Amino acid sequence: MASSTQHIRSGRGHRTYRRQRDILANRYRRNGWPCPECGRPFDWANPQSAQGFTADHPRALATGGKLIGQQLVAMCRGCNARKGATVMPVITPATLPEGDQTP
């Protein structure tokens, strides 16, 4: 019996996921941007290292997230492993009640 990871990798939408991941990786490599979580640079020469690039799903597949249809987030392997299957918090700007002019 195939593992769930093998099923995901050969399942519908994986080609779209790989395309989005590659676009994100190329953007980060071209601009020299570091990992947004830890601030350390990605190790492009050794992608399997802890500082190698990964494209993370904000809502993990293990907790019901979809393979496609999510905005991927760049992370190094170390940060992605620490995050695990937890859901990333969504931060929304605060709004003041109508008529309140307090900064």
**For the whole model, what pTM was predicted?**
0.66
Sign of the torsion angle spanned by Cα atoms 92, 70, 55, 6? positive
- The answer to whether position 3 is within a domain reads no
Residue 98 in tokens: 């109508």
Q: What share of the chain is helix, strand, coil (3-state, %, to 5)?
A: 35, 10, 60
- The answer to whether position 66 is within a domain reads yes
- The answer to whether position 42 is within a domain reads yes
Number of independent structural domains in the chain: 1
- The answer to whether position 56 is within a domain reads yes
- The answer to whether position 65 is within a domain reads yes
- The answer to whether position 94 is within a domain reads no
> pLDDT (tens digit, 9 = 90+) per residue, 43-84?
999 989 999 999 888 777 777 777 777 788 899 999 988 887
What is the domain extent for residue 22? 10-83
